[in-house]
Structure formats: C-alpha cells, structure tokens
Amino acid sequence: MNIALLSVGTEILLGDTINTNLASLGQALYNNGFMLSTEKTVPDDKKLIQDAVNELLENNDVIITCGGIGPTEDDFTKEVISEMFDLKLVVDEVHLNWMKSRWESRGMTMPATNVKQAEIPAGATKLNNTNGTSPGIYIEYKSKHVFILPGPPREFIPLVTDELVPFLKDNFTKIEKDYEFILFFNEAESALAEKIDRFKPEGLDIAYLASKGIIKLRIDKNSVSEDALKDFKNQIKESLSHNVLSYENIPASKVLLRELKAKNYTISLVESITGGSFSKELVSHPGASEALIASNVLYSMDAKKELLNVEPNEDWALLTEELAVASMKKYNSSVGLAVLGEAGPVPSSKYKIGEIFISICINGEISNFTHNLRGNREDIINRAVNNCIWDLLNLIK
C-alpha cells in the first residue's frame, strides 16, 4: 500500500514557507504503522496540480493533498480535483451557516469569497476541521482514496490524526518495518560509518542522517535476526558508547532535560552567540521549568557588564567563565552555562568565525570548552547549541 502527499503552494517552492506538514505526516504515519511513499510539491497552477494528481493516482492507493482550499483566488486544489473526477461542487448549507455565525460572533459580516470554503464535491465526505473554516474532504475515486486537506499545520495535523490515521487503520494492514535509532555526537559521518562497517551484520538495513553535528543512525529491526541485531547493538555499546547521545529518537535537548532532572539540577544560561536558541530548545519540552531557571541573552559588552558589575574581560575564554559563574550565583542554580563566539559572516572581534567558547559551572566546579565550527551563520549557531548540550551532558553523566 502506497501513500503520497501532494503539497500545493508557490510559497513552498519560493522558500517563503517551510513544508513542516511533510515531516509531521511522515512521523504520524510511521508512529501508527504506515509509511509515506512519495511526496511532490507543485505551485498554485491548475495544470500542474492536475498533472501531479494524475501521476500520483497511477502509483499510490492513498493521495493526500495539503494547501489550496482557502477562500482566496489562488486556492483551487479542491476545484481542480473535483473537475478531474467529474464531481459537481455543492454548497454545504450547514457549514456555510456555521461559518457565517463565526464571523457574526466577532461583529463582522462574512465576505462572499468565503462561501467557496463551504463547497463540497458531490458524494464526498466532509471532514471536521477543528482549527479552521475549510473542512477536509475525502473522495473515493476508482478504488483510490483522496484526502484534500488544508495547508496550515495547525489545521492539517489534527485532520491527519483525527481522520486520516483512523481511516488507514480501518482499511489497510500495517507495515512490518520497525526502526530503532541511535544518536551520535562528535563523530564525522564517514568515520562513524567506517567503524560500524567493521561489525555490521550482513543484510542489516541502516541509514545515517546527519544534522548540526548530530548523526542519527536508523536501524531496520526486521532486516536481520534478533540475535544478529542484539550483537550489533552490543558492539556499538562496547566500542562507540563514548559518542552516543541517545538510544532513542528524541531531540538532544530532551536528553539533557532528563539528565538534569535525574540529578535534581537546575540551570541558568548566558547566551550571546546563540541568542536564546539554547533556551528555546529546552522550553520546547513540557516540564522544562523543573530544570531551567533563567536565560539571559547578553549581546553587547554593556549588557555583560551589567551582569558582572565589572568591566568585561577582553579574553572571551575568561569572560565566558565569569559569566557562567555570575549566572549561577545570581539565580542560585546548580549549573551556570555561558556561551560566546563568532557566528559571522563578518567577524566583530579578534576571534575567527566559528570559534566558540563554552563555560560550565556545576556547584562551583568550572569546565571550559573551545570549539571551531564550520558552516554559515545559522549552521554555527545551531551547532553551538548542540555543543553546549553535548559538553554539559558529558559533565553531568
């Protein structure tokens, strides 16, 4: 059984919008025993949408579209598909009245252009959109199953969870693929692969996914015998455990929060080069407040002076240490961490682009780290965050 996603929107191809629906759909399907087979993105062009739908219908059992069902003139995914399937669009009066009542509750009159959102292809099933006014639509066409869903993630994801996944469970058999993940840090992808190849059993299906200094090893549990898989994992623990970040497919920041909580540690941060990105990673997880007390983004020397109550040291290695200690003392945290460095593209100091300084003070004991990172500004900032996490994890473990 093959499942395809058709993403519609010129804004995706221009880079104005990041297609997070693809990742969310892939995760939701995999977590429920299914796999996305194909993804295609097309602009707001009727002919290209039609061509894409025809192409996907040939090789897939389920086609999901996202985008192009709003009230504006560039929203016509539903119209194109209805015309292809020779289905007349009919106004759903119940939905139309509900839409009007929403506008009236805000003291406004619904624009006439919004009426198109209440149009449903004859014979199709309307899917309840709990976070928007454009309903999802399900059409069975020549034994193929087409789901026309809205593009905004806050509307798309609930419809996937509430409508698509239950439909798949009721009508299709789950796949046998079952993956495990091991996350590595501080290893080059090619060097890691070379080490693993020395003991990888024949037939084991693995893949390396590298991002921001972290390498995610994906392992198909069903590609070899249970004994061979067990031996493989034991070999990794024996020879590579010093670079293992996690044996789960979870963000590095979540691994860190778990360790902080396990030690009953609280943490306060001083971020300069990372500009709050580190604390943002931490607070993206529920329960972060149990460990994170504060994060100060101190970019200028005057801001750093305010925390230190003295002139900031011109040696960034020493300044980072002073800021970490000052933060720990100010907030009475178990851990004080400060990170400074140059992200570029033009250096603002005597230090090289990618030169990063991290100081960590744990209950008064100080550890200092220096890293030389590569990449553009965004890469360096993201890698600096991951280096903070890795350095701190190694200390508290």
**pLDDT tens-place string over residues 218-274:** 999 999 999 999 999 999 999 999 999 999 999 999 999 999 999 999 999 999 999
pLDDT in tens, 62-117: 999 999 999 998 899 999 999 999 999 999 999 999 999 999 999 999 999 999 99
pLDDT in tens, 130-151: 999 999 999 999 999 999 999 9
- Residue 186, pLDDT > 90, answer no
Going by pLDDT thresholds of 50, 70 and 90, the confidence category of residue 181 is very high
Mean predicted lDDT score pLDDT of the chain = 95
| Fold exhibited by the domain 3-171 | Molybdenum Cofactor Biosythetic Enzyme; Chain A (3.40.980)
| Fold exhibited by the domain 252-396 | Maf protein (3.90.950)
Residue ranges of the chain that CATH labels 3.40.980.10? 3-171
Q: Which residue has the higher pLDDT, 60 or 397?
A: 60
Q: What is the pLDDT at residue 223?
A: 92
Residue ranges of the chain that CATH labels 3.90.950.20? 252-396
Contacts of 338 (CB under 8 A, 6+ apart): 269, 270, 271, 272, 320, 321, 323, 324, 327, 358, 359
Residue ranges of the chain that CATH labels 3.30.70.2860? 179-246
- Residue 35, pLDDT > 80, answer yes
Going by pLDDT thresholds of 50, 70 and 90, the confidence category of residue 397 is confident
Assess if CATH 3.30.70.2860 describes domain 179-246: yes
Query: What are the phi and psi torsion angles at 246 (to 5°)?
Result: -165, 150
- Residue 177, pLDDT > 80, answer no
